[in-house]
Each structure stands twice: as C-alpha cells, then as structure tokens.
Chain A
C-alpha cells in the first residue's frame, strides 16, 4: 500500500516537472495599405466582341480601386479557362495571390446571346473562391464584365463593387451649350438627360437612384430642379428669393438640404422632395453652405466661415447642435460624407493648391489623396472606396477622374474632349 502511494506521489511529481509550455503570443499591430496582386487571364473563346475584351475590362475596373494590382497576363502560354488543372506553382511564382479565368461562348446562335463562365481562384489556398455564369446580349458584354468585377471585388474586399453603377456630369461646350449626362462609372455609354444653354451645377443623384437634383440658371438665377430619370420629368424644387443652390439628398431620398440666400448670407434649409416643408436649420450670421447629409439622417455636414476661415462643421437637425469637424488645414470646404458615415472628403487649400483630402471620422486622421492644383467637387462612390472629382491643370481643360481613398490610384474618366465638370455618382442597384 505504501509502495503504491509512493509511486503515485513520484508519478505526480514527474508530471509536474515535465515542462508544459504556455502558447507563445505575438501581437501584431497595424498593417499597410497594399494592393492584392491578381492575374486576370484572357478569357477563352469569343472574348473579343466589338474590340472589347472581358479580361481587359475587369482588369481596368479592379486597377482603378487601389486595392488590386492586376498582373500582366499577355503572352502567357496555355492560359487556363477554368479552375481545373491550375498550375499553382507557376502563378505563385508570378506573385499572383488570385487569378480570374473564364470563357466566352455563344449561348444561342439564333438570339445572339453570349454565355460567360468564370472562376476566381485563390493561389495560396489552391482552391476556387467562386465560379459563376452570366448569360446576356452581346450589347451587354461590358455590363457583364463589370458584374464579374463586382463579384471579384465583393469576394475579396467584403464591399460591394461599383463597376456596374452610373455617374452623371455636366458637359460644357464652347461656353454656350450645357448638358447633363449619365454614363457608366468608367465613362462608357454616355448619354445626355438635359441639354440647355444655361449653366448647370451641383447635380446630386438621389440614394434611391430614381432622380437627380441640380441647379440650373435657366431662370436667370440659380434654382433647383429635380429630374426623374425614368420619365425625364423635371420638377422645380426651389425658386425662393435670392439664390437656390447646393442640393443634398437625405438618405431616404425624401428630403433635401438646400442653400438659400433668402436672408442675407447663404443659409442651409431642409425641404421635402416635393417642395413642401421648407425649414431653416441654423440661426447664424456666418455663411453656411455645401450641405452633405450623413447616412444616419440626423447630421448634416457643411462648410462655414463662422470661425473665420472656411471649415467643415456638422449640425444635428433635431437639436441644431453644431460641432466643428476639420481642424487640419486653414481652408477646408465642399464636404461629402461616405455611405457608412465613417469617412469625410473635402477640398483643402494646401499652400495655394486645392486638393481632395479624406478624414477618418473615427481616428480623425487626414490624408490628402489628390495632387491639385485646382481640384473641385469631390463626391464618394456608393461603396465609399473611390472618390469622383473634377481636376484641372492650369490652362488645360477641366476633366473628371477617380481617386482611390488610399490615394494610390488616380485615373481619369474619358468622356470626350469637352469641359467635363460637376460629377455625381449614382447608387448601387441590383
């Protein structure tokens, strides 16, 4: 009995003396804004439709975001067209983390429909992330390619892509003709929705995608119109005494914030989308203008000179409580809030150059994402990952372009040689 107790005692002692390691913990703080290397392989089959190639459209879409680095896949021997028999070592050696492969086929020779089958493959994990098939008309080829981009984007970033969205902008020809145009996000398929001889400014797309509000000078002074995009019908929203300008939609598309010089200075008012229920927001002698409605529906960001120089402030529409938002830079204006309410973009005067700056409203960090010198009208893409803005080199024509919110990619949107300005971005629609 005693022998057994001793054995047990020594056994326990032995067990305790054997080192049992606590798992070593390594804390990794932060990271860096890098682009995902992705190879968009030329699609097999009837890829070239009217000079357009799906892999080029997808590559261009992803490249614009600043989140992807499309690799050069031209000249690759035996490019795969499906997720079968992928040479992972080869793609890994090319530094690719993901590849997109696909095939374009004729779905029905009678109807002329095409079928695009494609796959997104994870090279690290050696597995297919997603495989899909789209069927559509040949005329929808670009749209289908944009849909592929959207899917790739969403699978890898968790956010919806904006490659299938629309933008609107003002085209000015010879200072005599003005047109409000709608186009694909990359400038393709542009068409005018309004032609006039009077200037058009500040177009704003409603969050529901149905309407565009803009300022027109056709009544010999700035007034605000709302135009239905389905019917083309225009409604005069605000034609009050003085100037009527800077419309900004509420998140539910039922109201707008507008700026009137009804009294002396520019002041912000709210108004129902049908033109009723006008209400002044603040009582102040300072200039309060350029409203941008926050996604919570309660806050409106605006620029004001109440502190001396123009800065961005926000006001709560329920209690009129005002707080200053921007502190970096002496001259900040033209705010636009992201759709999740976490980022703010605005124009900042950086030593005489007007640049687009972005402020993280959580950390309050500010990053200048454009180079200037005469950038204007910044507005967020509906996913908050891109910014559409007007840029101009001194003495050159004004154009529009996009910049990624990390500032890594600034690319123009090619919509002709005219003066292009005052852009707005439509919502993501199914």
Chain B
C-alpha cells in the first residue's frame, strides 16, 4: 500500500507563490477570508451559546385597577403633590469665579484630608513599626536572657555533673582503697553500684542524720582526754531499731568509753532510716567510727 507523501518541492516549485505575489486583490480577499475564518473559529469556541430553554414567568394582565386598592393612603398622595407645588423654587445664582474658588478649596481640602490621612496612616504605621521593633528588641533581649539562663543552667548542670563525678570518683577511690585491701571484687561491685545511680545525696543526708543522732548521746567525759578511736558494726531493722547488739570491732582500750559509746548507739534507737528500699539496703549494715575526743594530736 502506498502511503501518500506530501510533496513540498512541488509546492515550492509551483507558481502559486508567484501569482499571490503579483495579485493584490487576491491577497486582500484571502486576508479577508482568513480574518473571517478566524473570527468564526473564535465565535464557535469562545462564546458560550445559550442552549438551555429559559424559565419563563406568567404575568396576569388587568384591564382596570381593582377597586379594593382605593384606600386613604392613596388618597393622600395628591395632597403631597399640592405641597410640593407650593414650594417656590428659586434658581441659584452661581458665581462662576466663586464656584471655581470653591472647587479649588474643596480640592485643597480633599488633598489636605488625604494628606492628613496619609500622614496619620504613616504615623500609625511608624508607631506600629516602632512597637514592632521594640517588641522585637524585647523579644531579642528575652531570647538573649533565656539563652544566657539556658547557658548558665547548662554550665551549672555541667558543674554539678563534674562535682558529682568528682565526688563519685573520690568515693570510688576511697571505697577502692579500703576494699581492695580486703576483697577486690567487693570494691568493683561497690563502684558499679555507685555508678548505677543510688541517690548519693539522700544517702549522705541519712548518714548525716544517723551521725547527728548518735553523736548527741556520746558521753565523751568517759573517754579520758587522749585521742581515742572506736569502731562498731551495727545492723538495722526497717524500723530503725537495732537488729541484735552493736558489735565492737575496735576498742578505745578504755572500758568506760567503750561502754559509753555502746550506750550512745543503743540510746539512739530508732535511727533515721530512708523509706526507699534501695537506700535502706545500703544503710542496713553500718560501720560506725567514733572519735569521742576529736582529732587533736598529742
């Protein structure tokens, strides 16, 4: 099957272009035709032609005005007309110059009003901008302050962390030093526990409370004048009372002093104990080191 091919060369080589170039009438007709064709196309595609049937309204036509409508209101109308008729209308004598001046004044006034309005608007805008600026400045300041506070907070936290770290490290060191001599595994476990997050502040608080309560009952008059040291180990019940008797692990070598310190422990019952089970577990068994006459050297 042969596909028809458009032969451009034929067109190019034909004399149609020559005829068109020479004949101006043909050019005009052709131009007119093209214009009309374009308009036609435009009308067809751009104008929405009414295709729907419009709704129509029914109207009743009367031959005469219905009698019922004759009422007073209607009657009064002619009176009004009379009054209107009475008013004498005097034609205004208009001075053209005056009119011009008035017009100019009006224009000026209008201009002035517009200017004022503009100025007011400008002022308002300026104030708003100022307010906004102030607000922004304030906000900026607040932001700065907040930043500062946040920074301070951060610094404090870091400081606290460092101090806590230092404290933990010291505690670890002391525990390590003490316990490594005896059982290395215990020291390692103790360190782990400290790092595991027992509330060290609370632990210290309860240790201080226990220390304070016992110290009040130590009658150091019975411990001579020399520097003496004693050690007791105690176990506590959750009530703060002693479980069993205090066990003396180091004597002061003064019987009355040993007894006085033991009495102080017994007398201090119940000892202050935390509610927290984890914490209590740490304070359940205690080693108490006594220095009844302080630390002064001989």
Taking Cβ atoms with an 8 Å cutoff, the residues of A that contact B are: 16-34, 36, 67, 97, 124-125, 156-159, 342-343, 360, 362-363, 406
Could you show 24 A-B contacts with beta carbons less than 8 Å apart? A16-B188, A20-B185, A20-B190, A21-B193, A22-B179, A23-B286, A23-B287, A24-B203, A25-B286, A25-B287, A25-B289, A26-B211, A27-B211, A27-B291, A28-B218, A31-B218, A124-B267, A125-B266, A157-B256, A158-B222, A158-B255, A342-B226, A363-B225, A363-B294
Which residue in B189, B221, B233 is a CB contact (below 8 Å) of A19?
A: B189
Which chain B residue lies CB-closest to A384? B225
Closest approach, in angstroms, between the C-beta of A157 and any C-beta of chain B? 5
The SS class assigned to the B binding surface is helix
Interface residue count for B (Cβ, 8 Å)? 56
Closest approach, in angstroms, between the C-beta of A62 and any C-beta of chain B? 14
Give chain B interface residues in 187-224, CB to chain A under 8 Å: 187-190, 192-193, 196, 203, 207, 210-211, 214-224
- B207: A residues at CB distance < 8 A: 24, 26
Which residue in B187, B190, B196, B218 is a CB contact (below 8 Å) of A32?
A: B218
A24 lies within 8 A of B175 (CB): no
Which residue in B189, B220, B263, B289 is a CB contact (below 8 Å) of A30?
A: B220
Which residue in A19, A24, A26 is a CB contact (below 8 Å) of B192?
A: A19
- Assembly CA distance A24 to B254 (angstroms): 25
Contacts A21-B193, A24-B286, A363-B296; A32 near B185 (Cβ below 8 A): no
- Assembly CA distance A342 to B220 (angstroms): 16
- Assembly CA distance A318 to B179 (angstroms): 51
- Assembly CA distance A30 to B291 (angstroms): 6
A21 lies within 8 A of B281 (CB): yes
- B203: A residues at CB distance < 8 A: 24
Contacts A19-B192, A32-B219; A27 near B283 (Cβ below 8 A): no
- Assembly CA distance A32 to B295 (angstroms): 15
B222 lies within 8 A of A26 (CB): no
Closest approach, in angstroms, between the C-beta of A115 and any C-beta of chain B? 29
B257 at the interface (CB under 8 A from A): yes
B259 at the interface (CB under 8 A from A): yes
- B128: A residues at CB distance < 8 A: none
Of A24, A124, A362, most B-chain CB atoms within 10 Å: A24
B226 lies within 8 A of A21 (CB): no
B259 lies within 8 A of A156 (CB): yes
Contacts A27-B211, A34-B221, A156-B256; A22 near B186 (Cβ below 8 A): yes
